Amino acid sequence: MNALLLVRRTAMGAVAALLIAAGVWASWGTAQHVMLSDDRERGTMRVTRCSSDTCVGSYVPSTEGFEPRDRVEIDRSIAEEKGVRVPVAVKPGTSEVVRTGGPGFLHAWLPLGGALLLSAVVVAGGLRLPRTAWTLALAGGALLTASFATLAF
């Protein structure tokens, strides 16, 4: 019976750790461009039009040595509308940009917030650690709420 309990706890711990690792992995693809500033092309995007999932606009660099672009693309979030200027960083070798600053930082880590919420369910139900589960859920919820609040206003 103790062996079964050990196997269950090990499996649930591995699932929770895998969820959190997947959240970090999914977030890092965008977050690296927001957080790491060494030799990154940064500037401002002026949104000209948006579709259901992306926005397109012109780009003006804020650092010397880079050229303005007529067309760059950003994933649409709740705040982008036509005419808005958004501080961005360009993903190297592409015409894709990501939002920078506090709102961009929080938006980049959204997948981690969702992963924290999911892992809280696994920790509460599978590992029977309610305090740890509440901590994970509150951290994930705070990240999601802060991201929504900074992008909405």
- Predicted local distance difference test score (pLDDT) of residue 114: 97
| Per-residue pLDDT tens digits for 120-143 | 999 999 999 999 999 999 999 999
Report pLDDT for 84.
Answer: 87
Assign 79 a pLDDT band (cuts: 50, 70, 90).
low
Express each pLDDT in 80-105 by its tens digit: 678 889 999 999 889 999 999 999 99
* Residue at 128: amino acid letter: R
Q: What does the domain layout of the chain look like in residue ranges? A: 12-152
